[in-house]
A = this chain, B = another copy of it.
Amino acid sequence: MAESIWVLTDSDQGIHEAEFESPEPAKGDATYSIKRQTLRGGVREGVDTIEVDNGAVKFAVVPMRGMGLWKAWAGETEYGWRSAVKGPVHPQYVPVLDPNGLGWLEGFDELLCRCGLISNGAPDFDADGRLRYPLHGRIGNLPASRVEVTVNETSGELSVRGIVDEARFLFHQLRLETTYATKVGENRIRITDKVTNLSGTPAESQMLYHINFGPPVLDAGAKLVAPVNAIVPRDSRAAEGINGWENYPAPQAGFTEQVYFFDLAADSTGIVPVLLKNAHGTAGVCLRYRREQLPCFTLWKNTAAEADGYVTGLEPGTNYPNPRSFEGEQARFAKLAPGASVTFQLELELLTDAKGIGACEVEIGKLTRGLNPQIFSTPQKGWTKV
């Protein structure tokens, strides 16, 4: 077997390689690589990234930010977005527990940011008005305690694996084990997450994948294509845009976000495909995930000025991003017995031409043919607090 493994971080063993570069490929014509580098200056100081390049697609993982996926590139096309926040931001500069629960927004600029593990969604407060669950939880601002990278010369598989613990003594102890994998030359990034309850008592866990795109995938005329069973606007603001929910306008300064909750259909293998494509079909992304693992899908439309982060979020989750207490009433979380795990699998296919986009549309089209989507024009009970 020609698999090589390098442990880049292991806090138990005291390992932390700030810089790393995989050896030159043995085959002369291959051009893949895995590199770690440590960023310098400002809020980035000391943040490391792991960049995987399979020759066709490149992506950067940020172990210190809960193994988030910062950006990706397919050839010249950049995937991700330009937030008002210039990250990746070291967690020490992100006041997640700001009493108003919104401090997470000071670190948010990733292509894919996990929201969890205990909770995600809007801030939730106790009866005394004190913060109980901050916006989108803690995992996105916790560092990996172990990071390893692998190269398999035979199969061409490249991967980055990381472990991040979210623990508070007396309260909870959840572990995220994540793998980003890709093969030499392909245009896909495959993500496998395992969340384990390390505690001796049962736990409840929420997970939401906040997967975000700005230009060039998002533009005026961009479109979302998905196998819709039902759509519900989160609030009256979202309800205003229900008729054009799948269409994106040009950037508009001062645009207030619109959020839609979905029930999406899976294909016969259990996979939900969702496509975002730009106006002229020159860039797009096909997201695939397993419906049984992530039954809820949320669409976030934030077509504000480019300077403020012209962006849309595709968000498969165990739940909708309502306050934790509301989602709890709806039983939207993963129940984990002591020692038990739940697995989430996702795939991002980066599309840069009409052919690839067309293939994904065909795939979704087959699935939508038999559907009779319910489009609710107002917020609905059980979906959102009404």
Measuring CB to CB, which residues of chain A are less than 8 angstroms from any residue of chain B? 9-12, 14-16, 37, 39-45, 83-86, 91-93, 95-100, 102-103, 105-106, 108-109, 125-126, 128-132, 142-146, 165, 167-173, 198-201, 251, 253-254, 257, 302, 304-309, 338
Does A200 lie within 8 Å of B102, measured CB to CB?
Answer: no
Report how far A145 CA is from B40 CA in the complex, Å.
9
Task: Establish whether residues B45 and A143, one from each chain, have CB atoms under 8 Å apart when the complex forms.
Answer: yes
Which residues on B sit within 8 Å (CB–CB) of A251?
Answer: 200
Integer count of this chain's copies in the complex: 3
CB distance from A381 to the nearest CB of B (A): 26
Instruction: Compute how far the CA of A95 lies from the CA of B138 in the bound complex, rounded to whole angstroms.
Output: 11
Contact A145 B41, beta carbon cutoff 8 Å? yes
With a cutoff of 8 Å between Cβ atoms, the chain B residues found around residue A142 in the complex are 43, 93
A39-B14, A130-B100 known; A167 vs B307 contact (CB < 8 Å): no
Say whether A9 contacts B307, CB under 8 Å: no
A307 — which chain B residues lie within 8 A by C-beta? 173, 198-200, 338
**13 sampled A-B residue pairs with Cβ under 8 A:** A14-B40, A42-B146, A44-B145, A86-B167, A91-B93, A93-B143, A99-B130, A100-B132, A103-B168, A198-B307, A200-B253, A201-B253, A305-B338
Instruction: From the candidates B84, B92, B97, B144, name the one contacting A98 in the complex (CB within 8 A).
Output: B97
* A130: B residues at CB distance < 8 A: 99-100, 129-131
Contacts of A105 in B (CB 8 A): 168-171
A11 touches B42 (CB 8 A): yes
Expressed in whole angstroms, the minimum distance between the Cβ of A275 and any Cβ of chain B is 26
Task: Please indicate the chain B residues that have their CB under 8 angstroms from the CB of A109 in the complex.
Answer: 169
Partner of A45 from the list B16, B43, B169, B308 (CB cut-off 8 Å) is: B16
Docked Cα-Cα span, A172 to B173, in Å, equals: 35
Residues of B within 8 A of A304 (CB): 200-201
A254 touches B200 (CB 8 A): yes
Complex formed: what's the CA distance from A238 to B362 in Å?
65
Q: Identify 9 new A-B residue pairs, CB closer than 8 A, beyond the known A99-B99, A307-B338.
A: A11-B41, A11-B44, A42-B165, A84-B198, A86-B167, A97-B98, A100-B131, A169-B309, A173-B307
Given A95-B97, A144-B42, A200-B308, are A338 and B11 neighbors across the interface (CB < 8 Å)? Answer: no
> Contacts A40-B14, A41-B9, A131-B100 hold; do A85 and B167 have CB atoms under 8 A apart?
yes
CA distance A378 to B100 in the complex (A): 35
A123 CB, nearest partner CB in chain B, Å: 10
A95 with B93: in contact, given A41-B9, A43-B143, A199-B84 (CB under 8 Å)? no
Residues of B within 8 A of A125 (CB): 128
Q: A98-B97, A253-B338 are in contact. Are A106 and B167 (CB under 8 A)?
A: yes
| Contacting residues, chain B, for A198 (C-beta < 8 A) | 84, 307
